[in-house]
Each structure stands twice: as structure tokens, then as C-alpha cells.
Amino acid sequence: MRGEPSILHVDLDAMFAAVEQRDKVSLRGRPVVVGGVAGRGVVSTASYEARAFGVHSAMPMAQARRRSPPGTAFLSPRFAAYKRTSEVVMRLLGEVSPLVEQVSIDEAYVDLRVTDNDLSLEGVTALARELKTAIAAATGGVTGSVGAASSKLLAKISSDLHKPDGLTVVPPGGELTFLHPLPVGRLGGVGPATEQRLHRSNVRTIGQLAAVELSDLVDWFGTAHGSGLYRLARADDGRPVVSEREAKSVSAEETFDVDLTDPAHLNRELELLATRVAGRLRSSGLTGRTVNIKVRHPDFTTVTRAITRDQPTDDPRLVAQLARRLLAELDTSGGIRLLGVGVSTLADFAQDDLFTLLPAFDLSSPAVPTASPVPSPSLLAGGSDSSDSPVDDPGTVPPPVWRPGQDVLHDDVGAGWVWGSGLGRVTVRFEGPRTPPGPVRTFAVGDPALHPADPPDWTADPHA
């Protein structure tokens, strides 16, 4: 533990939902839920307006819909938009310190000890305030909460205390005074099961946990976990900020509305997942030698299979070919609830066989059919993300699937986002980050004038 609060933890507030509210002006101040909008989907992020009704991440989307008030927007994720925002924030952090450890798309640690900044309590507090202001300005209003402390453990806990848009600086020498009154669930190593076990022993605060003998914790949780809790309760955390984090794998998965049994449909889903994985590999400058699949059956039994080739690849066709080979080894007649594709054994170069022949399939379609039944007409931004008539003939071009929240461009009306879709129609709201709330128009799902679009530029003047 350091002698000054020289580690910052920066955590963007409900980032996915905040980006949606920034880019869709009509949703500002309203409940927004981002995640898998289909029947078995789960919540990725809920805006603070939605959290007031008990909606939270990892909640089944069906439950979130029951809890949410009328007018809540249910949107599919737009990872390209989130990535752009994240890159802006990470560049800002890099201007504060050369030592930044990005731990996810929306959070990072910053080491101030390697800078010339004033590391006094007052100096760090002023710097953190300036950083929060800069983040909001650079991202078009997405806020971040900042914690500063003498260790990564305390910096992360403090950043979460006063969300959203919070700032907490733990004074040097006051670490235990800050930490011990907090509930044990605030510690990173305390999940629901550990918390329940501690509660049964009348251990509810971190201070009470610190009073438990090491031998008791080891008896309750085992040597590794018990010893870890013993150290964390005493703020014993000497982990350094590490600027380079090596990715171990890149993956994507999909949970289906209804269990899939049709091999052709499963293969099309594999192709879509392979395309997503390959896109993430290429955007990160990575390739991989091992392709794996993850299959979950209706009884929640999960099976994985993997194959490793001699040379790394980022080719979606090759990833899909190997994934199909792995899937062919499994019995899928009883239905598949979840399907995933991943690539591991990563490298930063590719050397594929020059004459590898692969079956071709279209990777440029804006969307592919899913296993959802024919949807009813959608309401506000919560319509189905499935096609109206899934196509079983692999030789035909499936109709586009418009996902709620998706960025689109109409040749005549301009830029907007999908409000919802169903029964062969798609409804679009035409507005952007810096426009007034826009009009709503409905089109046929196959309207040739309607196209998928890149995320809007929140810095651009729409009248320029």
C-alpha cells in the first residue's frame, strides 16, 4: 500500500445506456435497458432511470420488462459506438499518465506516481475533478465516477460509492477507517455465496471480517480464498498498475428464443458468430490458432470442443469452417439453447495457407435470421430482433433483420435509429446526438432505401 492516493480508478457510469441516451436525444432522462431483447436475453446495462425500478445487469430481459414502466426503451447493444467512446476516454487517461491499465471497455486504473502531478490529497482531488470534466466534454456527456486511493482495491471500491458522476478520494492513513464500516459485499472477492456464508457467522462489515481469525477463514473458504479475504479486509493490496493486458481469447455467443435443432440454421448461427469474433480479432490486431465452440443444451448441460491449427488466422470463413466441424461431432437433435464461438492461442500476426479453399457465404448482410417466432408489432424501441420469416434455404438471401437501437440511414429521410420491427415492417426515429427529437417513420423491412449505418458522430454539427 502506498503512502499517497496515487492510483485512480475511472468507471464510466452505465456506459452502454449512457451512450444510447447521448446518441438518441429522445431517450434522455428516460429508462433505457440495453441487452438481448429476445425472450432469453439478459440485461447488459440499465440506465439509472431504469435502475430506480429494480432493473440491473445480468437480469433476464423478460423480468426487466415486467419491472420497467411504460415508455422504457429496450435496445440491442451497439458495440461499435461503445468502443469509439471508450477509445476517447482511454486517450484522455493516457494524457494524464503513461501508465494506464484498461480492465474493461468502461473502466481503467491510472497510476499517478509515474507523473509530475501533485500527489497530495488536495492535488489528486483537483486532478480527478478536472479529469471528470474532460471525460464528459470529450464524450458528449457520458460521465465517469473516479476513486483515488493508495491501492487498486480501495480505488475501485471508492469509485463505486457515489455513482453516478461520483468522486471519492481516500486520504492516506485513513484506509481502514474508510474500509471497515463498509458491507462485506463491497470487497471484490466476496460474491453472493461468500456473503451469505459470512452473514451466517454474523460477519456483515469489512471491519467484522478483519476481526475473524485467519484459521477460521481458511476453514470456511479454503486456503486461497480465505487467505485472500484476510488480506483484503486489512487493505493489504500491493498489486501494481499494469499497462499491457494480454488477451487470452476472443469469443461471442448467442442464446436463442427457442431451442434450435435444424443443422442448417445452426450452421448459419455459427457463421454469424465467427464473423463477430473475426471482426473483434481484426480490430485488435490479433489472430489465433485455436477455435472452440460452446454448446448449451435445454437442460443447461454445457459442452465445449476445440481444435488447434498450425498457423493463426483472423479469417471468418476459416473460423466458421472449423466451428462447423466441431459442431458436427456433437448430438444436437435434442436442441441447442446457447451457441458460442471463440478463438484463443492468440498472436499478433497471421500466416494462413495461401491456397486454403473454403465454402463461401455472405458476410456483408446487415443481419441474419434468428430462431425467434414471428413477432407482434413492436412498441417503443423494444421490438423483436428476429426476422419475420426465417429462411431455411441457404441459397436464398434472407431479409434484413433490424435490431432495436440499430443505426440506419435512409436515402431520402437521413440518419436515424430503429425504434422496433415486426410483421414485415420497421419503424425508425430520425434524430441524432445533436438534433431535436425527430420524427418516426415506418417502412417495409426490405425497403431498398434503408441501410445499416455507422454510429453517429456526437461531435458533428448537424447543420454544418
Per residue in 409-440, pLDDT (tens digit) is 999 999 999 999 888 999 999 999 999 999 99
241-262 CB burial, b ≥16 within 10 A, e <16 = bebeeeeeebbbbbbbbebbee
The CB density around residue 410, as the number of other CB atoms within 10 Å, is 17
63 Rama sector, left if φ>0, alpha if ψ -120 to 50, beta otherwise = alpha
Lowest average pLDDT, out of 4-8, 243-247, 292-296, 374-378, goes to: 374-378
Cell numbers describing residue 353: 495457407
pLDDT of residue 375: 34
Confidence of residue 377 (pLDDT cuts 50, 70, 90): very low
- pLDDT tens profile 67-80: 999 999 999 999 99
Q: For 110-168, write each residue's pLDDT tens digit.
A: 999 999 899 999 999 999 999 999 999 999 999 999 999 999 999 999 999 999 999 99
Predicted local confidence at residue 351, as pLDDT? 39
pLDDT: which is higher, 111 or 387: 111
C-beta separation of 46 from 18 below 8 A: no
In this prediction, residue 199 carries a pLDDT of 95
- Position 397 scores a pLDDT of 61
Going by pLDDT thresholds of 50, 70 and 90, the confidence category of residue 368 is very low
pLDDT of residue 39: 67
CATH: 3.40.50.300, 1.10.10.10, 3.40.140.10, 3.30.1490.100. Which one for 249-347?
3.30.1490.100
Output the 3-class SS for the chain.
Answer: CCCCCCEEEEEECCHHHHHHHHHCHHHCCCCEEEECCCCCCEEEEECHHHHCCCCCCCCEHHHHHHHCCCCCEEECCCHHHHHHHHHHHHHHHHHHCCCEEEEECCEEEEECCCCCCCCCHHHHHHHHHHHHHHHHHHCCCCCEEEEEECCHHHHHHHHCCCCCCCEEECCCCCHHHHHCCCEHHHCCCCCHHHHHHHHHCCCCEHHHHHCCCHHHHHHHHCHHHHHHHHHHCCCCCCCCCCCCCCCCEEEEEEEEEEEECCHHHHHHHHHHHHHHHHHHHHHCCCEEEEEEEEEECCCCCEEEEEEEEEEEECCHHHHHHHHHHHHCCCCCCCCEEEEEEEEEEEECCCCCCCCCCCCCCCCCCCCCCCCCCCCCCCCCCCCCCCCCCCCCCCCCCCCCCCCCCCEEEECCCEEEEEEEEECCEEEEECCCCCCCCCCEEEEECCCCCEEECCCCCCCCCCCC
To the nearest 10 degrees (0 to 180), the angle between helices 223-232 and 214-221 is: 140
How far out from the chain centre does Cα 342 lie? 16
User: Does residue 4 register a pLDDT over 90?
Assistant: yes
Q: Under the phi-then-psi rule, with left for phi > 0, alpha for psi from -120 to 50, and beta for the rest, what region is 300?
A: left
| Percent of the chain with pLDDT strictly greater than 70 | 87
CA distance 45 to 56: 7
Average pLDDT for the chain: 86
CA–CA separation, 108 vs 93, rounded Å? 9
Whole-model pTM: value is: 0.72
pLDDT at 171 over 70: yes
Tell me what the mean pLDDT of segment 297-309 comes to: 86
pLDDT (average), residues 190-202: 91
The predicted-structure confidence for 251-284, as pLDDT tens digits, reads as follows 888 888 788 998 999 999 999 999 989 888 877 7
Whether 24 has a pLDDT exceeding 80, the answer reads yes
Categorize the per-residue pLDDT at 363 as very low, low, confident or very high, splitting at 50, 70 and 90. very low
8 Å CB contact between 422 and 378: yes
Question: Does the active-site annotation cover 107?
Answer: yes
The number of angstroms, rounded, from the C-alpha of 281 to the middle of its chain's C-alpha atoms is 16
Confidence at residue 254, expressed as pLDDT on a 0 to 100 scale: 87
Above 70 in pLDDT, residue 174?
Answer: yes
* Averaged pLDDT for residues 332-336: 89
Task: Name the segment(s) of the chain with CATH classification 3.40.1170.60.
Answer: 15-79
Q: Which of 224-228, 254-258, 325-329 has the lowest mean pLDDT?
A: 254-258
Would you place residue 247 in the very low, low, confident or very high pLDDT band (cuts 50, 70, 90)? low
pLDDT of res. 158: 97
Domain with CATH 1.10.150 in the chain: 188-232
Q: What is the pLDDT of residue 374?
A: 30
Q: Which of 7-16, 54-63, 205-214 has the lowest mean pLDDT?
A: 54-63
Q: What pLDDT was estimated at residue 73?
A: 96
Q: Which of 49, 107, 254, 269 is catalytic?
A: 107
Amino acid letter, 347: A
End-to-end CA distance of the chain: 52
pLDDT at 387 over 50: no
For 284-313, b/e burial (b = at least 16 CB within 10 A) is: eebbbbbbbbbbbbeeeeeeebeeeeeebb
Q: What is the pLDDT of residues 28-70, one digit of tens each?
A: 999 999 998 876 788 999 999 999 999 998 889 999 999 999 9
Distance CA 16, CA 182 (A): 28
451 pLDDT more than 90:
yes
| Model pLDDT, residue 279 | 84
The boundaries of every CATH 3.30.1490.100 domain in the chain are 249-347
Q: Which CATH architecture has domain 15-79?
A: 3-Layer(aba) Sandwich (3.40)
- Does domain 188-232 sit in CATH 1.10.10? no
